[in-house]
Amino acid sequence: AQSVTQLDSQVPVFEEAPVELRCNYSSSVSVYLFWYVQYPNQGLQLLLKYLSGSTLVESINGFEAEFNKSQTSFHLRKPSVHISDTAEYFCAASVKNSDDKIIFGKGTRLHILP
């Protein structure tokens, strides 16, 4: 069975600084990978996903994530964060081309410092 690990429960970063939120997965088969975001007092929504093809995927608000098969990672990065990026970020995985369930990590709370 697959599992998703987010090593950092909280990440503080100054506004306009770069950030990386780490995600590692464990699976014996190929997986789809996702990042979901939960802004304060809002529901969860999809930020970006990797299904196949290019290993670098981007969101509309400047985040990107790179699928690294050898390191079983899917870290989320942004070169310059804004106060509006304050949120909790969840990494998720599911087995590719199957009806298997989607499993989430424990989340990383991103604190943007002024």
Q: Which positions touch another protein (CB under 8 A)?
A: 6, 9, 32, 34, 36, 43-46, 49, 51, 90, 92, 94, 99, 101-107
**Residue closer to another protein (CB basis): 9 or 55:** 9
Query: Nearest approach, Cβ of 107 to another protein (angstroms)?
Result: 4
> Largest Cα–Cα distance in the chain?
44
**Residue closer to another protein (CB basis): 7 or 83:** 7
**Residue closer to another protein (CB basis): 45 or 84:** 45
**Residue closer to another protein (CB basis): 82 or 111:** 111
112, 83 in Cβ contact below 8 A?
yes
Query: Nearest approach, Cβ of 15 to another protein (angstroms)?
Result: 26
Query: Nearest approach, Cβ of 77 to another protein (angstroms)?
Result: 20
92, 36 in Cβ contact below 8 A?
yes
104, 5 in Cβ contact below 8 A?
no
48 to 1, 59, 69: CA distances (angstroms): 23, 6, 17
Query: Nearest approach, Cβ of 21 to another protein (angstroms)?
Result: 13
Q: How many CB atoms lie within 10 A of CB 39?
A: 13
